[in-house]
Amino acid sequence: MELKSIIRKILILLRLDLTINLKHDRYTNIILKRILKHNSNCIDIGCHKGEILDAILKYSPNGKHYAFEPIPYLYEKIKSEFSNKAEIYPYALSKDSGVTSFNIVENAPAYSGILQRRYDISNPIIKEIEVEKRTLDEVVPETYKVDFMKIDVEGGEYDVLLGAKELLIRSNPTILIEFGTGSSEFYGVTPEAMYNFMMKELKYKINTLKRYVEGDAELTELEFYETYHSNSDYYFVIWK
């Protein structure tokens, strides 16, 4: 395990939220521990280095899991570590299929995505590659029922959900999703579009991680819009 990952786990354990991302990681772990059973089925979209997948396997060792990571060297790393425990794919998930360009931010890989976004780093080094684009409904079997999904694809989250509509309807999973300014608008997606699809059409509820963990009421439509536009938070739990 990398030293950086070890330090991160120690800070989370000690509840030292030195950054907003550490706070999100801590709440994510609480949520996973709370909702997952030993046989829960999970999907990790934007698997990156596999931190969430590792936690999923800890809490749901007997579940059927899928993970998706289109950055080639990260895909190979995840595949070598987890291929005997989960189905690992190099696809960029979206609302349709085909071949797409994919922008790797070589000096900040976590910002990588199908489209370029706003980067909160100086002089991002972009490498454009081609990857296979698929929908989640195409990849997973029609008999598969998912209990939990994590989606972190740097702005393309709404498109991933559109491509997973059949799975969402039949499974009603709890979803952990990043959705904020600086990324989603580059895909032409508004918070209104997200709310209309997930909360109005599919009848889900939404909250921030902190409010969800503390048992606070779900966000109203107006509160969700205010949270998005103020960028006061950008990680959400969506559930039924």
- Report residue 20's pLDDT band, with 50, 70 and 90 as the boundaries: low
Question: Which single residue is written with the structure tokens 């739990």?
Answer: 237
The DSSP 8-state label assigned to residue 232 in this structure reads: S
14, two tokens: 């000690």
Which domain range does residue 178 map to? Answer: 3-93+141-239
Q: What average pLDDT does the segment 13-33 reach? A: 73
Tell me if 45 sits within 8 A of 164, measured CB to CB.
no
Q: Is residue 135 part of a domain?
A: no
Q: Is residue 77 part of a domain?
A: yes
> Distance from CA of residue 68 to its chain's centroid?
10
Q: Is residue 130 part of a domain?
A: no
Within 8 A by CB and 6+ apart from 226, the residues are: 232
- Using DSSP, state whether 163 is helix, strand or coil: coil
How does pLDDT run across 98-127, given as a tens digit for each residue?
A: 999 999 999 999 999 999 999 989 999 999
Sequential DSSP letters for 204-216: -EEEEHHHHHTTP
- Report residue 219's pLDDT band, with 50, 70 and 90 as the boundaries: very high
Q: Is residue 116 part of a domain?
A: no
- Report residue 3's pLDDT band, with 50, 70 and 90 as the boundaries: very low
pLDDT of residue 77: 96
How does pLDDT run across 53-107, given as a tens digit for each residue?
A: 999 999 999 999 999 999 999 999 999 999 999 999 999 999 999 999 999 999 9
Q: Is residue 229 part of a domain?
A: yes
Residue 12 confidence (pLDDT) above 90: no
Q: If residue 43 lies in a helix (H) or strand (E), which one and from where to where?
A: strand 42-45
Q: Is residue 72 part of a domain?
A: yes
Tell me if 153 sits within 8 A of 177, measured CB to CB.
no
Within 8 A by CB and 6+ apart from 212, the residues are: 27, 31, 237, 239
Q: Is residue 125 part of a domain?
A: no
**How many structural domains compose the chain?**
1
Per the DSSP assignment, residues forming a β-bridge with 102 are 129
Tell me if 152 sits within 8 A of 47, measured CB to CB.
no
CA distance 177 to 4: 24
pLDDT of residue 175: 98
- Report residue 21's pLDDT band, with 50, 70 and 90 as the boundaries: low
Would the pTM count as exceeding 0.85? yes
Tell me if 136 sits within 8 A of 167, measured CB to CB.
yes
pLDDT of residue 18: 42
CA distance 110 to 104: 9
Q: Diameter of the chain by CA atoms?
A: 46
Q: Is residue 111 part of a domain?
A: no
Write the CATH number for 186.
3.40.50.150
For 172-203, b/e burial (b = at least 16 CB within 10 A) is bbbbbbbbbeebbebbebebeebbebbbeeee
